[in-house]
Amino acid sequence: MKNNRLFKISVAEIVIGVIIELLAFSGIVEDGSVLTGIGSGILAVGVVQLLRVFRMESNPEYKKRMETASKDERYAFISMKAKEAAFGIYLIIAAVLCVAWMLLGYSEQGMLAAMSICILVLLYAVLFRILARKY
């Protein structure tokens, strides 16, 4: 199991989550509430993934089903569509928040939302060009 890539990633997520939690509770950071949320989220993802690894190791039928599902074209298509929808929904939400925050006088938050839109669109354009050449 220690050679399992998912096991190593899960353990790394747990360690990173614990480190972030310790930083949040130690008082090194002025406002640790954001770090607490981030650390808790990463820790939870790592624990859930680790439980999944243990389940796959103890149940060969479940492991085979998960491996088949990860290689299935239908699941790849569904995953691609979900990412596409999430990208579009995020852009709309960020754009609405950007305009609303700017109108309400919260220019810093509005600028942050606008920059996140720009970064996502820029990443999309760059990755599209790279992938178009590759495929």
pLDDT value for 96: 94
Per-domain residue ranges of the chain:
1-71, 73-135
What is the spatial distance between Cα 43 and Cα 64, in angstroms, rounded to a whole number?
27
Q: What is the pLDDT of residue 25?
A: 85
Half-sphere exposure of 108 (CA within 13 A, CB side): 0
Q: What is the rounded distance in angstroms from the CA atom of residue 112 to the CA atom of residue 103?
A: 14
Intra-chain end-to-end CA distance of the chain, in Å = 34
Joined together, the tokens standing for residue 67 give 């491996």
Give percent above pLDDT 90 in the chain: 49
Q: Supply φ then ψ for residue 107, to 5 degrees.
A: -65, -35
Residue 4, sorted as left (phi over 0), alpha (psi -120 to 50) or beta, turns out to be: beta
Share the mean pLDDT of the chain. Answer: 88
> SS3 for 113?
helix
| Stretch 1-8: mean pLDDT | 74
Residue 19 has pLDDT above 80, yes or no: yes
For residue 34, give the 3-state DSSP assignment: helix
Q: What is the pTM of this model?
A: 0.58
Confidence of residue 98 (pLDDT cuts 50, 70, 90): very high
